[in-house]
Amino acid sequence: MLLLLTAPSGGGKSTFCQRVATAWQRQGFVVGGLLTRSSGPAGQAPALWWHDVARGDERLIAHLAPPADADWGRWRLLPTTEAWGNRRLRALRTVDLLLVDELGPWEMRAGRGLQAVWPVLRSARYRLALLTVRPALAPALTRTLADLRPVVLPLTDPNARSRAWRLTQPPR
């Protein structure tokens, strides 16, 4: 099963994914993938980090940059971390839960970021894949992954959030 969770920036996508990962890991299931977290003063995100949920380590993926140094909007993407994240995804073997938080313009428009996600998703070496995406990109991602029949759940809708929680609970 493939779930696409949508919410705007700050809408709880990463927090939701972390809770799901913790629930699966506590039950002894194998969880793999990358979560994104931001760091900086409250209300600001001057840096983005990728956290490997299986190994527990993380790397800086992007930071705010002056216009002359930015390579995507206000952001400077770090190629060494980009390569690290893709290596981590390609190295995944069979997992019960695959998390990728989040797929965004880098992956879908710029051909950068986590490009390894596409073959990993199509390998179907997971019981449940949980991807996050902002609402504006959800239709394009749904079309891209149409052969995998993704279920789109907007976390801003209380009914969808409840359904997402039920769908993401570890199997008994």
Q: What predicted TM-score, i.e. pTM, was given to this entire model?
A: 0.91
Confidence (pLDDT) at 172: 78
Domains and CATH numbers, the chain: 2-167 (3.40.50.300)
Strand order in the sheet with 58-64: 75-77, 58-64, 47-52, 31-39, 95-103, 126-133, 2-6, 151-154
The one-letter amino acid code at 155 reads: L
- Residue by residue, pLDDT tens for the chain (172 residues) are 999 999 998 888 999 999 999 999 999 999 999 999 888 655 555 899 999 999 999 999 999 888 899 988 888 999 999 999 999 999 999 999 999 999 999 999 989 999 999 999 999 899 999 999 999 999 999 999 999 999 999 988 888 778 888 888 888 7
Query: Which 3 state secondary structure label does DSSP give 13?
Result: helix
pLDDT of res. 165: 84
pLDDT at 78: 94
pLDDT for the residue numbered 45 = 59
Q: What gap in Å lies between CA 67 and CA 156, rounded to an integer?
A: 32
pLDDT at 124: 85
The two three-digit tokens of residue 47, written as one number: 């840096």
